[in-house]
Structure 1
C-alpha cells in the first residue's frame, strides 16, 4: 500500500540532498529496507528519481537517461501505447520504428504480425523482431550510441531517405505547448524530421509524463505530425493546440473505430 506522506518526505530529502540511501531511509521511517526499495521503485516509475546501487539519485536535468533506466519509468503506460499503436498497423505495411522505450513496447505488440517490412535504427527492436517474428527486418547503418543502442549519424539519415514508409513510429523527449515536439539530442531530431517527410503517416508515441516538459532540441512543430498516441487524454490546452494543428490524438478513451479510421481502413 502506498504511504503518500512517506513518499513526499523521500522526495523532499532527495530534492535537498540529491541522493538517498535505502539503509538511512529505513532507519528514518522505522520500516524495512524492502519497503523503502518498493517506495523507490514506485517513484522511479513516475520518473521522479533514478535508482542506483544502495539508493537513488535525482535525474540529471536536460539529459536523457539510458534506455535501461527509461524502460522502468511508466511501464504500464508504454504497454498501453504499444497496444494502441499496433491498431494502426496492417499486414504487409512498411514501417519505420525509431529508438525509444515506447517504440520498443510497440515492437513487442508487432511480433504477432508476419508480413511487415520493419526498418529501424534500434538494435533492441531489430533483435526482438528478428527473433520473435517472421517479419522482414532492415537495420539502418550508423554509429552505435551506447546509452540506448541506437544507430545514429549521417549514414542513418542518408539510408532512411532512400525509402517511403506507410507509417513512421517515433518516440519523443518532450511535448511542449510553445515549441511542440522536442528532443534531448540532435541526432534523433534530425532523423525524425526525415521520417515525417518520407512516410504516409507519421506517428509520435508519448506517455503522459512527456506533456509539459521542455528539453534541448526543437524537433517538430505539432503540424508536422499526423497522429499522437498516448496512454491518457492530454491536458486540455494540449488537446486544443494539437487539434488546431490537425493532429489526430489516439488514447484509451478513443473508440476502436477511430483507430481503424486513422490507419486508413
Structure 2
C-alpha cells in the first residue's frame, strides 16, 4: 500500500503523462475510498498542481505528453511481453511496417535475430535497434522530425506510404478506445497512423493495459476493421470486452514474473538519436 504522499505523486504523474481516470477508477487503482481520492485531488488542487474537473482533475503547468525517453521506462515488463507476442506472429521474409514509440521499439529489439526481414519505419528508435541486424533491410519514412516522439511525420512520409504495402503493420498509441481508436497528442501522428493502417494486410495496435479506455488528448486515428489489439494480462476485463464487442480481435500477452527484463539493453539516450540523425543527413 502506497503512502498518502506517494499516492498523490502517482496521481499527479498520471495527470501529466496519460490523463486522469475518474474518481471511481482511481479509487480502484489505489485500493482506497473515493473520499480519499477526492481529498487527494483537493490537496493537489490547493498546491496549484491540478485543476479539479467534474469527476476528476487535470494537470496544470505541465506538458501532457511524455517524451519517448520518459515512456521507454514506463510499463517496461508489459511492453516487452507485448513485443514478444508480436514478434512471434512475424514470418521471416515478410515486409512489415513498424510505427514509432516505445512499445514498437521493444518489438524492434525482439526482431534483431531475424535472418531475413524487410522493415519500414518512421521511428528513430526502431532504426537504432535494427541498425546492426545483417538479415534485416531497413527503410526509413522520412519527413519532418517530431522531436518529442523522435519520429518523422508529414507530407513526405505520407507520400512515401502511397507506394508501399506490407504484410503486417504494427502501431503504437498514447491511448486507445474501443469507440474511437488510437488517441494521440498530435494530429500529424494520427494522420500518419491512419495511412499506415491502410497499407497493411494485417494491422496490430500494441498498447499496454494502462492505455486502454483513456482519452488524454484530442487527436484520433480511426481504424477500419479488422484489426488486432495486443495488450498485457493486467488489462481490465471490462475494457477488453468492449474492444471485442466492437469487433476488434484482442490478444493478451502474459507478463512473466520470473524473467529479468531490465537486464535487456534498450535505447533511451538522446545522444544516440542524434547520431542516427547525423547518419541520415550524411554528416559522417
User: Given the two structures, how large is their TM-score scaled by the length of structure 1?
Assistant: 0.72
Asked if 1:10 corresponds to 2:6, the answer is yes
How far is 1:60 from its partner? 7.0
Query: SS in structure 2 opposite 1:111?
Result: helix
- 2:95/2:118 contact within 8 Å kept: yes
Q: 5+ unaligned residues in a row in structure 1: which ranges?
A: 17-56, 254-265
- Structure 2: gaps spanning 5 or more residues: 13-49, 51-58, 255-284
Partner in structure 1 of residue 92 of structure 2 = 91
Asked whether the 8 Å contact 2:230–2:253 carries over to 1, the reply is: no
Residue 176 of structure 1: aligned partner = 177
8 Å contact 1:182–1:220 — kept in the other structure? no
1:252 Cα deviation (Å)?
2.7
Partner Cα distance (2:10, 2:107) in 1: 33
Deviations 1:79-131 (A, max 9, x none): 11110110110000000001000000000001111211000001121122122
Q: How many residues are aligned here?
A: 209
Q: Does 1:248 align with 2:253?
A: no
User: What's 1:219 paired with?
Assistant: 221
Output the CA distance in 2 between the equivalents of 1:69 and 1:252: 23
Within 2, Cα distance between the matches of 1:59 and 1:106?
A: 34
CA distance in 2, matches of 1:13, 1:167: 39
Report the TM-score when normalising by structure 2: 0.67
- Distance apart, 1:236 and its partner CA: 3.2
Q: CA RMSD in A?
A: 2.5
Question: Against the structure 1 CA distance between its residues 177 and 245, is the aligned structure 2 distance closer, same or farther, given a 3 Å change threshold?
Answer: closer
List aligned pairs for 1:61-210, cutoff 5 A: 63-210=64-211
| Residue 177 of structure 1, CA deviation | 4.3
Question: Residues 107 and 125 of structure 1 are in contact (CA less than 8 Å); yes or no, is this contact kept in structure 2?
Answer: yes
SS of the residue corresponding to residue 131 of structure 1 reads coil
CA distance in 2, matches of 1:251, 1:14: 26
CA contact (8 A) 1:172 1:205 kept: yes
Tell me the SS of whatever aligns to 1:246: coil
